[in-house]
């Protein structure tokens, strides 16, 4: 049986445009562009996943959950698992 892994990064969040390094982005939310990016994910995912078995794991970050929601993963009949092991590692502050 062939297995494929599809990795999807969250859509643009405010932390991505702030210019900060090492910010605590767990509660970061999507920008307007990020929302549009996540919405466009919906049709792309349906084409890629059509007629395939798959499972979906998400981190706990707001931006990830928002991407999944606007992208049609959360709120659909698709099952998913919140996986804390996918959360970012806090590397501390550079300052």
Could you tell me the pLDDT band of residue 2, with boundaries at 50, 70 and 90? Answer: confident
User: What letters, b where the CB count within 10 A reaches 16 and e where it falls short, cover 54-74?
Assistant: eebebbebbbbbbbbebbbbe
Please give the share of the chain, as a percent, with pLDDT higher than 70.
84
Task: List, for residues 16-48, the tens digit of each pLDDT value.
Answer: 888 766 556 567 899 999 999 999 998 888 888
pTM of the model: 0.81
Task: List, for residues 42-85, the tens digit of each pLDDT value.
Answer: 888 888 888 888 888 999 999 999 999 999 887 767 788 999 99
Give DSSP secondary structure letters for 37-95: HHHHHHHHHHHHHTT-----EE-S-HHHHHHHHHTTSTTSS---EE-GGGSPP------
Cross-strand partners of 58 = 82
């Amino acid at each position: 049986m062939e297995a494929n892994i599809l990795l999807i990064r969250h859509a643009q969040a405010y932390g991505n445009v702030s210019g900060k390094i090492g910010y605590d982005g767990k509660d970061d939310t999507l920008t307007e562009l990020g929302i549009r990016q996540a919405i466009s994910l919906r049709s792309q995912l349906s084409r890629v996943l059509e007629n395939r078995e798959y499972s979906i794991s998400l981190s706990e970050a707001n931006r990830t959950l928002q991407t999944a929601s606007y992208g049609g993963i959360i709120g659909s009949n698709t099952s998913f698992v919140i996986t804390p092991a996918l959360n970012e590692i806090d590397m501390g502050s550079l300052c």
